[in-house]
Amino acid sequence: MSALTNAYIFLILAIIAEVIGTLYLRETEGFTKVIPSLITAISYAASFYWLSFTLDEIPVGVAYATWSGVGIFLITGLAAIKYLQIPNLFTTVGMGFVIVGVVLINLFSSEN
């Protein structure tokens, strides 16, 4: 596997960890609940740990845009399932723009 492929694997792991941490953040109830607080803290730490491995191969702006953009999309979708927080039309269109932006950044970044 190439170094760039490994970097994207680490980026995927970072995104998954960040999504888990964000989904459990609501359940911490202001960090008064121990188990959800630990899950959130460990997930965020793992996310930044894995994100750091991507930065040797993927420019920080591209990595961060991908990490945050895909995270927003996944969190919104999972929150719709877990918390019944259904996005409205404008939210859905906006997320579509975010995803298009992430794709464009990854395809056409001159730094990659």
Residue 67: phi and psi, rounded to 5, are: -55, -50
Rounded Cα distance between 68 and 105, Å, is 13
pLDDT category at 109 given cuts 50, 70, 90 is confident
- The predicted-structure confidence for 50-65, as pLDDT tens digits, reads as follows 999 999 999 999 999 9
Rounded Cα distance between 15 and 66, Å, is 9
The CA-to-CA distance between both ends of the chain, in Å, stands at 17
pLDDT at residue 107 in the model = 87
Mean pLDDT computed over 1-5:
88
The angle at the Cα of 19, spanning 104 to 105, to the nearest 5 degrees, equals 10
For the chain, the structural domain boundaries read 3-108
- The predicted-structure confidence for 30-83, as pLDDT tens digits, reads as follows 999 999 999 999 999 999 999 999 999 999 999 999 999 999 999 999 999 999
